[in-house]
Amino acid sequence: MPKMDLPLPKFPEPDTEPFWDATKDHELKYQVCDDCGGLVWHPRRHCTHCTSLNLSWKTSKGEGTVYTYSIVRQNYHPAFRERIPYVVAWIDLDEGFRMLSNVVDVDVEEVSVGQRVRVRWLDQEGLALPAFTPA
C-alpha cells in the first residue's frame, strides 16, 4: 500500500500520546486498571470500570478476529479517495478489547466476520497507524 498523507492526531494529547509513542516501535498498547483489573480501551486517564487513576500500559500481541466490517466504496476526502475500496472493521483483540481499524493487503471481498487477523503497521510521519491483515 502506498504511503499517503492520512489525518494524524495532534499533540500534545495527554490521554492517547503514550499509545501513539508506542506505535513508533510498532507496539500496540492498551491499559489495565491496577485497582480493579479492568481493561481500558480507548486510552484515557481513568478506569472506565471503577474510575481509578491507577492504570498500567500493556502490549497486545496484535492478533484477533473481525467482529464486523464495512467496505467503503465512496469517500471524497483526498487522503482516502485513492484507497477505495477499503475495509473498515471492528477487531476483537485476543486480550479482550475491540478496536476500529482497517483490514489491508487483501481483496475487500475476501474479508469475513470471524476472520483471524494480525496487526500490520502503516508508517506515517513520526508514528505508525495500526491496521490489520489476514493471519
Q: In degrees rounded to 5, what are phi and psi of residue 20?
A: -65, -35
Task: Name the pairing type of β-strands 63-72 and 39-40.
Answer: unpaired
Q: What is the number of structural domains in the chain?
A: 1
Q: Confirm whether 4 is domain-assigned.
A: no
Torsion 129-10-58-114 (CA) sign: negative
Model pLDDT for residues 62-98, shown as the tens digit of each residue: 999 999 999 999 999 998 988 999 999 999 999 999 9
- At 14-38, the pLDDT tens digits run 899 999 999 999 999 999 999 999 9
pTM over 0.85: yes
- For residue 46, give its domain range: 17-134
Say which CATH number the domain at 127 has: 2.40.50.840
Over residues 38-64, the pLDDT tens digits come to 999 999 999 999 999 999 999 999 999
Residue 61 C-alpha from the chain's centroid:
12
Domain annotation covers residue 5: no
